[in-house]
Every structure is written in C-alpha cells, then in structure tokens.
Copies of this chain bind each other. A is one copy, B any other.
Amino acid sequence: MLSINQKKYINSLQQKKFRAQHGTFLVEGEKMVEELIQSDFEIEFVFVVKGNRVKGFEAIEINEKEMKSISALSTPSNFLAVAKQKKQQADLSKSNFVLVLDNVKDPGNLGTIIRTADWFGIHAIVCSNECVDVYNPKVVQATMGSIFRANVTYVNLLEFFQQNNAIPVYGAMLEGENIYEKPIQDKKAFLLMGSESFGISKELTPFITNKVMIPKFGGAESLNVAVATGILCSAYRQKNQ
C-alpha cells in the first residue's frame, strides 16, 4: 500500500528543490535498486510491484498503478527506492586523476560521464555549481549504478583551481595539442571538460596547464561531451595503468 503522503513526497523528488530540502533521491529499476542496497548509501524506502522481491531490505509491496504514479520513468520498472543523498567532499589526496566538469547541463551526459569514469576507475568528479544535479532522476538512471561508487562534489571552480594550483590541469579544447602526439603523462592531474554548448568558461582557461585536443578527421563540429570524456579518460589510462 502506498499512502497519499508517500506519493506526494516521492513525486516531489523529481524536483531539485525538494530533493535538496529532504536530502533524498529516487533510484529505479531492479539492478539499480540491488546496487543501492549493496552500496553504503542509506535507504529510506524500497517499493516493489507485488510478486517481486529484493534481498537485504524490507520492501513495501504496491500495485502497478501505484508504481506508475510514483515513477519518474516513462516505462516504470517493478522497483523504486528512495535513498539519502551523501554530502561528499572532494578528497584529492585519495585520487590521482580527477575529472572536473564545467557547466555540464544535460542529465544523460552527466550520468554517462559518471559511468564512464567508474569504468576507468576514476572516482573523484568535481562539478561546477552550474552543472545539473547529480541526484536528478535522469542522471541517476544514466549512471547505471556507478553513482553508488562515485565521489561527486559541487564547487566554485574558480576558487577550486586557485586552491589547488600545484596539480596540472588538462583542458579539452579545439585549439589544444593532439592527444595522440602529446598524451596525458601526469599520473596526478585534473581533466577539465567544458559545457556542451560553450566549452570551457573563459575565466577558467588561465588555470589550464595542458590544452589537449582529440584530432578531427571529418565534418562534425564537436564531439558529445560524454564521448570526449571517454576518449580522454582512455588516453589517460593508456599511459597510467
């Protein structure tokens, strides 16, 4: 059974304002909910459509219609959880390679970047305050579970680079140096990726120590930011295994 208050509360979590107010977020799908239960995130509720089960947490059974009324997905699954947000801090001493995202607005892109970074064993992700909220349901789903292993923080990037000016900053720019000829050699480094529409903010370019560019052979004006991040993370790992 789903109470009216639960329904109202869960629906409100589709909006950033209410997620921030409650400090919680939505997780949907069997695999995602299983990964959540195995993670160190705290869980508030797990709802399953009658006939389904999860291991390791006492789920509330609801019917399909009720699930549809609380799901943020166009095709709801049989599993939905509410978890507590983690207030994370960027721990640069633990991480060699840190991904820094400037103004990444598209939820699918941020989610895919977190998933890609997780594949390459890169757990520290520092976002500018203008980036989309990591607990947005579309971001969470696009991470495919990698959100539970990532350390994502939001900062003022200008201050962040001022405070951490001893670490080399690789910035992805069209006018950078060919990544095939000048690979990412530094084990400890920041990789700065700009926004989908405007690239890296002008105020941040003075902090870039190494401008890098993925060579272009055809007609496309740019690469998708998640694809470009994947290629550069891979380039890093090719030199730093």
Contacts and interface: CB of A to CB of B under 8 A. Distances in A.
Interface of A: 108, 112, 115-123, 144-146, 149, 180, 214-224, 226-231, 234-235, 237-238, 241
Contact of A116 (B118, B120, B223): B223
A238 B180 contact: yes
A189 B217 CA distance: 17
Given A215-B237, A215-B241, A234-B234, A144 B227 contact: no
Nearest to A119: B220
Contact of A146 (B108, B220, B234, B238): B220
Given A112-B227, A227-B227, A227-B230, A218 B144 contact: no
B226 A144 contact: no
A104 to B, nearest CB: 14
A30 to B, nearest CB: 13
Given A108-B108, A226-B227, A119 B218 contact: yes
A120 B224 contact: no
A144 B112 contact: no
Copies of this subunit: 2
Contacts of A112: 224, 226-227
Given A227-B116, A230-B230, A218 B145 contact: no
A118 B231 contact: no
B180 A218 contact: no
Nearest to A217: B121
23 contacts: A108-B108, A112-B224, A112-B227, A116-B220, A116-B224, A117-B218, A118-B219, A118-B220, A119-B217, A119-B220, A119-B222, A120-B216, A120-B217, A121-B216, A121-B217, A123-B218, A145-B220, A180-B238, A214-B234, A223-B230, A224-B226, A226-B227, A227-B230
Contacts of A224: 112, 115-116, 226, 230
